Structure 1
Amino acid sequence: MRTIGLIGGMSWESSAEYYRIINQCVRDQLGPLRSAQVLMYSVDFGPVEQAQHAGRWDDTALILEDAARRLQAGGAECVVLCTNTMHKLAPRIEAAVSIPFLHIADAAALAAVEAGTLTVGLLGTAFTMEQDFLTSRLTGHGLTVLLPDADERKEVHRVIYEELCVGVISDTSRRTYQRVIQSLAARGAQAVILGCTEIGLLIKPEHSELPLLDTTALHAQAAVAFALQD
């Protein structure tokens, strides 16, 4: 079994989900007492969040490059960045180490293609929805990506930072997300990519009229596939 390196803490709420899903998948595949070989470097999200909203991406890149190097030095055999938004810096993190970097958008796109859902809605932070670092990776796999309108994007973003990242799960916010998903469906979306690793804490399959492509679960499953491959 290969050792998985996780860069977590953004937020720790979703990083805990990565750890749970990875270990459940290994147990399911190898037996009831089996678990994953995992290293996690968990950053302090406060300075990262401040730098995000101030546009100081170079500052956050230095933090994540250092985290990746520490994982490699500790024996990790791949890097899994447990956040969609910080994949904006994926090229820099990938260049900082010699071990594979498993990109979150690849895991989501492959699942969409396998399901035949080539037109997808994307929910995430404003950075993820409004910049092209994730959408361009998705369209590179042949997907058409639909985004919520400006007001919807603002509310989706607010809920992530003000509620989900601090463990608040609100029925009111769930209904807001459901309305956004309904709007995407009306525009032709065949599935919705939960392009923020916290959204799966709020929106489950039973809450959506469209199939969900949860990047947290799909990325974690990709990490397990890497760890267990011959």
Structure 2
Amino acid sequence: MRKLGFVGGTGPESTMDYYQMIISKYQEKTGNNEELPELLINSINMYKIFALLEDGKTEELADYLTEAVQTLEKAGADFVVLTANTAHIVFDQVQQRVNVPMISMVEETYNHTKEMGLEKIGLLGTKFTMENDFFQKPFLAGEKTVVVPNPSEQQYLHEKIVDELEKGIVEDETKQGFLDLVGKMIERDEIEGLILGCTELPLIFKPEDLAIPQLNTTEIHVKKIIEMMFSEK
């Protein structure tokens, strides 16, 4: 069994979701609800990540996340994941600096859309995820279109994610605002699916809320994590 190390705290709500989902999928895989996976968690400071990105200090962010991954590597992790979409801005830089293999949430999400046959996909997340191109690169390479909200919509989403969702707060008014925004994207941009590109967005969006497929990046990531756990070293 390969030992997972995951960089959590980015934010705390999604870290709990990851932990619970990994346990659930692991037990489903083993068929034993009295079996638990042995794994390592390194919980870091989400607000430090946001501050570094606000100041454009991506090199320092890469250093910060590299140190977090190396801590897990030294503790005995066989592979590591970053449990936040935004942190994947520097995923490639971090992977190049460590010896332990890492699983990219972005690549796995792209693979999932490919399997589903989606060509034009909406992307929601923090402003850092929406305004940078790191999430869009594999889609563009695969000749798929990723659509993001306009700048004012991005700012609205970002503020609600940071001020509410990252703290576990879900307001009915916010949910309706998010659903209205996606409705506009379906009409205006003709998106065929929606990437929940922030691990807190499933707090808002439920499968029955939209007529188009939702791509929960946490679920997609965890599916690959479980496969990796049970693969040979």
TM range (shorter): over 0.9
Distance in 1, matches of 2:173 and 2:102, equals 37
1:95 corresponding residue in structure 2:
96
Q: When the two structures are superposed, what TM-score results if normalisation uses the length of structure 2? A: 0.94
In structure 2, stretches of 5+ residues that fail to align are none
Q: Does 1:149 align with 2:150?
A: yes
2:140 corresponding residue in structure 1:
139
Distance in 2, matches of 1:92 and 1:141, equals 22
1:52 corresponding residue in structure 2:
53
Which deviates more from structure 2 when the two are superposed, residues 150-159 or residues 189-198?
A: 150-159
Distance in 1, matches of 2:143 and 2:104, equals 16
Write out per-residue CA displacement over residues 192-223 of structure 1, whole angstroms, 9 at most, x where no aligned residue.
Answer: 00011111111111222221001111111111
1:117 corresponding residue in structure 2:
118
Q: Does the 8 Å CA contact 1:78/1:101 hold for their aligned counterparts? A: yes
Distance in 1, matches of 2:126 and 2:76, equals 32
Deviation of the 1:143 alpha carbon: 2.3
Deviation of the 1:109 alpha carbon: 1.1
Residue 216 of structure 1 aligns to which amino acid in structure 2?
Answer: T
Which deviates more from structure 2 when the two are superposed, residues 67-76 or residues 136-145?
A: 136-145
Root mean square deviation of aligned Cα: 1.3
1:2 corresponding residue in structure 2:
2
Write out per-residue CA displacement over residues 174-206 of structure 1, whole angstroms, 9 at most, x where no aligned residue.
Answer: 111111211221222111000111111111112
Distance in 1, matches of 2:6 and 2:210, equals 29
1:177 corresponding residue in structure 2:
178
Write out per-residue CA displacement over residues 17-44 of structure 1, whole angstroms, 9 at most, x where no aligned residue.
Answer: 1111111111111022222221111102
Q: Does the 8 Å CA contact 1:69/1:96 hold for their aligned counterparts? A: no
Which deviates more from structure 2 when the two are superposed, residues 45-54 or residues 205-214?
A: 45-54
Deviation of the 1:86 alpha carbon: 1.1
Deviation of the 1:88 alpha carbon: 0.8
Distance in 2, matches of 1:142 and 1:20, equals 35
1:210 corresponding residue in structure 2:
212
1:17 corresponding residue in structure 2:
17
Deviation of the 1:172 alpha carbon: 0.9
Q: When the two structures are superposed, what TM-score results if normalisation uses the length of structure 1? A: 0.95
Name the CA shift for 1:166/1:29 in 2 (closer, same or farther; >3 Å): same
Distance in 1, matches of 2:139 and 2:79, equals 21
Report the secondary structure of 1:132's partner residue: coil
Distance in 1, matches of 2:141 and 2:39, equals 30
Deviation of the 1:113 alpha carbon: 1.2
Q: Does the 8 Å CA contact 1:2/1:37 hold for their aligned counterparts? A: no
Report the secondary structure of 1:133's partner residue: coil
Distance in 2, matches of 1:118 and 1:36, equals 36
Write out per-residue CA displacement over residues 154-173 of structure 1, whole angstroms, 9 at most, x where no aligned residue.
Answer: 11111111111111111111
Size of the aligned set, in residue pairs, is: 230
Residue 23 of structure 2 aligns to which amino acid in structure 1?
Answer: N
Q: Select the residue among 187, 190, 200 that pairs with 1:188.
A: 190
Q: Does 1:221 align with 2:223?
A: yes
Q: Does 1:160 align with 2:165?
A: no
In structure 1, stretches of 5+ residues that fail to align are none
Q: Does the 8 Å CA contact 1:200/1:214 hold for their aligned counterparts? A: yes
> After TM superposition, which residue ranges in structure 1, 4 or more long, deviate above 6 angstroms?
none
Report the secondary structure of 2:134's partner residue: helix
Q: Does the 8 Å CA contact 1:24/1:35 hold for their aligned counterparts? A: no
Write out per-residue CA displacement over residues 60-106 of structure 1, whole angstroms, 9 at most, x where no aligned residue.
Answer: 22211101111111111111001111111112210121121101111
